[in-house]
Amino acid sequence: MGEVIVITSGKGGVGKTTTTANIGTALAAIGKSVVLVDGDTGLRNLDILMGLENRVVYNLVDVIEEKCSLKQALIKDKRHERLFLLPTAQTKNKNDVQPKKMLNLINKLKDEFDYVLIDSPAGIEQGFENSVIAADSALVVVNPEMTSIRDADRVIGMLKGMGVKDHKLIINRIDYEMVKSGDMLDVEDIVSNLGIELIGIIPSDKAITVSTNRGEPIALNENSKIGKIFKEIAMRIIGEDVSFDEYGKSDNGFVDAIKKLFAYK
Ligand code: ADP
Ligand code: MG
């Protein structure tokens, strides 16, 4: 029996799809079987980030509507044998999927894979309920901005209301130069504001844009700065105790932020 993790946020555009593609790739690289489910019906993106858009024949809505089998709709990743994508429909809307049917579908995947990662839409639509209904835990993605944090706080409340009690925080798009100059909230502020466990800090990096445009998750390159960060998040997800000061040692801003974080703890 696998674990179902929903990747969610209050606001759109904070990096949920990027995070889903990369954590999925990193989990597969450490030997886990993983399926990435695109829960953002109508705004499907995950296939593009994985470079699999040309292989999409059937999708999640087709499975729900019994137009094809689940197996027919799953697309095997180009690089990892045990990594799969379940794309969603571009032309349907989120109300076309009933939460109960989604629950059945995800439970089937849970039987087959170690990890089911669900890329959720921003937290107010029907698609949100669909993405969360089968989740064992949630990764909440925020940007270091007040609006993002306030919306995340609301989403954490909604997750609790839906019975998802295990929440972990990913801070995406941090810029240590801006934190240093006092122009950006730092890690400590964000963690204390939201009060949930931190599992990853991802800097803003052009390499992410490049990898998105190429359809090659940056986590494929474990030796790159960002690739390493995703690998370490994956390690934490499987229960390894990876300390936050293992990487980014050459980045003083980062080390300062981490020191503060532990001072806070
Ligand atoms: P969401 O799924 O939450 O709407 P996306 O993952 O699609 O967000 O990301 C929104 C945009 O931000 C994309 O263009 C993506 O490439 C970019 N992006 C996400 N994270 C980063 C990052 N750490 N550094 C630079 N660009 C990023
Ligand atoms: Mg998205």
Residues 6+ away with beta carbon under 8 Å from 94: 41, 42, 121, 125, 126, 127, 130
- Ligand 1 interacting residues, C-beta cut-off 6 A: 9, 12-18, 45, 172-173, 202, 204-205, 208-209, 212
pLDDT of residue 265: 42
pLDDT of residue 41: 83
pLDDT-derived band at 256 (thresholds 50, 70, 90) equals low
Q: How far is the CA of 130 from the centre of ligand 1 (A)?
A: 22
pLDDT of residue 229: 96
Residues with CB under 5 A from ligand 2 (ion): 16-17, 45
pLDDT-derived band at 125 (thresholds 50, 70, 90) equals low
Q: What is the mean pLDDT of residues 193-199?
A: 96
Three-class SS of residue 30?
A: coil
3-8 β-sheet, strand order: 75-76, 83-86, 34-38, 115-119, 3-8, 137-142, 167-174, 197-203
Percent of residues, the chain, with pLDDT higher than 90: 81
Alpha-carbon gap, residue 98 to 261, rounded angstroms = 41
Q: What is the overall mean pLDDT for the chain?
A: 91
pLDDT of residue 177: 92
Alpha-carbon gap, residue 57 to 125, rounded angstroms = 26
Q: Judge whether residue 250 has pLDDT over 80.
A: no
pLDDT digits (tens, 9 = 90+) for 50-96: 999 999 999 999 999 999 999 999 999 999 999 999 999 987 776 77
Atom of ligand 1 nearest to the CA of 205: 24
Atom of ligand 1 nearest to the CA of 19: 6
Tokens of 207: 């390499």
pLDDT digits (tens, 9 = 90+) for 205-231: 999 999 999 999 999 998 899 999 999
Q: Judge whether residue 238 has pLDDT over 90.
A: yes
pLDDT of residue 253: 54
By most ligand atoms within 8 Å of CB, the mutation choice from 6, 175, 208, 226 for ligand 1 is 208
Q: What is the mean pLDDT of residues 150-174?
A: 95
Closest ligand to Cα 23: 1
pLDDT of residue 62: 95
CA quadruple 245, 247, 250, 256: dihedral positive or negative?
negative
More confident residue, 251 or 216: 216
Q: How far is the CA of 121 from the centre of ligand 2 (A)?
A: 6
More confident residue, 127 or 78: 78
pLDDT-derived band at 263 (thresholds 50, 70, 90) equals low
pLDDT digits (tens, 9 = 90+) for 167-184: 999 999 999 999 999 999
Query: pTM here?
Result: 0.92
